[in-house]
Amino acid sequence: MRISTFWFCMKQGLVNICRNIWFSLASTAIISACIFLFCVFFSVITNIEYMVRTAETTMGITVFFDENLTEDEIKDIGAKIESDKSGMIKEIKFVSAEEAWDGFKTEYFGEDEALAEGFADDNPLAGSSSYEIRLNNITDQDGMVAYLESIDGVRKVNYSNSAATGLASFNRILGLLFAVLIAMLLAVAVFLISNTISVAAEFRKNENRIMRLIGATNFMIRAPFVVEGTILGLVGAAIPLGVMLFVYRQTVEYVMNRFELLSGIIQFLPLGTFYPMMAAIALALGGGLGFFVSFFTIRKELRV
């Protein structure tokens, strides 16, 4: 393609936009709303997935054994667990009764040594040697717990997955809602872009006939309309991306300042960690939507 042809198509595409400014603005607004919702849900889902992954690394399973088992027998069971479930286990750690008691004293007695001295010759956690197990995927937890409870010598299995599974369930529901809303907005965007291109084609019907009579190719006639749709899509995607730069930072700052108690529980991802991918997808979605809708609409509408 020659440079002059490229600029001619770009110029005519912009002319089409100006001629149908209200249709163009409506199409851009709907695309922007669609892309903005996409960005919001992308940010929320990305952060929830991050929180779930964080929960997976901090939550684990603690296995306690019968008090009549020796430490060597407990370690043999631990080796069997690690061997049988190596694909599911991220980390497995043996905690002796003495280590458990030391950790308890540090956590609950702190610097008050007088309280700890009262148990100097008596370990209340004797017979509480255990294994702490962390999994690669929290969804494997129920299966792992069932396996552990079936082992001879296992007295008790402690675990808690309410937070992680709750976040995962919320993530799935949010993803479904996101898909429905985006599908509805995309349908409206397709309708408006298609109408915009149809109106532009009607405006230029006589010009297109003249161009065909003097030997213009199908490409020269159709390209300006495709350029028009693509520009509308890209502009519609760029606007919400710019808005998200401001909205995300302000929202995170507000939540952290307004709900200070959550700052130690919830950690948000920095915008820079996922914005490039989100921007690339949003621009591809907006530009691709404008391109394909205008391409197929002009093929149907333009009869010269």
**In this structure, what CATH number is given to the domain that contains residue 143?**
3.30.70.3040
User: Domain end: 100, 127, 159, which one?
Assistant: 159
Q: What are the structure tokens assigned to 128, written together?
A: 């509480």
- Are 253 and 143 part of one and the same domain? no
Helix (H, G, I), strand (E, B), or coil: what is residue 135?
Answer: strand
**Residues ≥6 apart with Cβ < 8 Å to 283:** 234, 237, 238, 241
Residues 136 and 229 in one domain: no
Question: What pLDDT does 35 receive?
Answer: 87
Contact 238, 283 (CB under 8 A): yes
> Of 159, 192, 224, which closes a domain?
159
Point out the domain boundary residue: 159, 192, 219.
159
Does 31 share its domain with 139?
A: no
Tell me how crowded residue 120 is: count the other CB atoms within 10 A of its CB: 7
Same structural domain, 154 and 260: no
Q: What is the pLDDT of residue 203?
A: 65
Domain co-membership, 89 together with 201: no
In the chain, how many domains are there? 2
Give the number of residues written for the chain: 304
**Long-range contacts for 140-145 (Cβ within 8 Å, ≥24 apart)?**
140/88, 141/61, 143/88, 144/61, 144/85, 144/88, 145/61
CB atoms within 10 A of CB 16: 26
Q: What is the pTM of this model?
A: 0.64
**Residue 171 and residue 254 share a domain:** yes
Whether 135 and 72 map to the same domain: the answer is yes
Is residue 117 located within the same domain as residue 255?
no
For residues 202 and 185, state if they share a domain.
Answer: yes
Which residue, 199, 194, 284, is CA-closest to 237?
284
What per-residue confidence (pLDDT) applies to 242?
92
Same domain, 177 and 95: no
Burial class of residue 289 in the structure, from the number of CB atoms within 10 Å of its CB (0-12 exposed, 13-18 middle, 19+ buried):
buried
User: 219 and 145, same structural domain?
Assistant: no
In this predicted structure, what is the pLDDT of residue 280? 94
Q: Which two tokens stand for residue 230?
A: 């693509």
Residue ranges making up the domain that contains 263:
3-55+165-301
- Weakly modelled stretches of the chain, pLDDT under 70: 1-2, 4-9, 12-13, 16, 55-59, 97-98, 100-127, 161-168, 170-171, 196-197, 199-221, 260-265, 300-304
Edge-to-edge order in the sheet of strand 61-65: 89-95, 130-135, 61-65, 154-159
Does one domain contain both 143 and 210? no
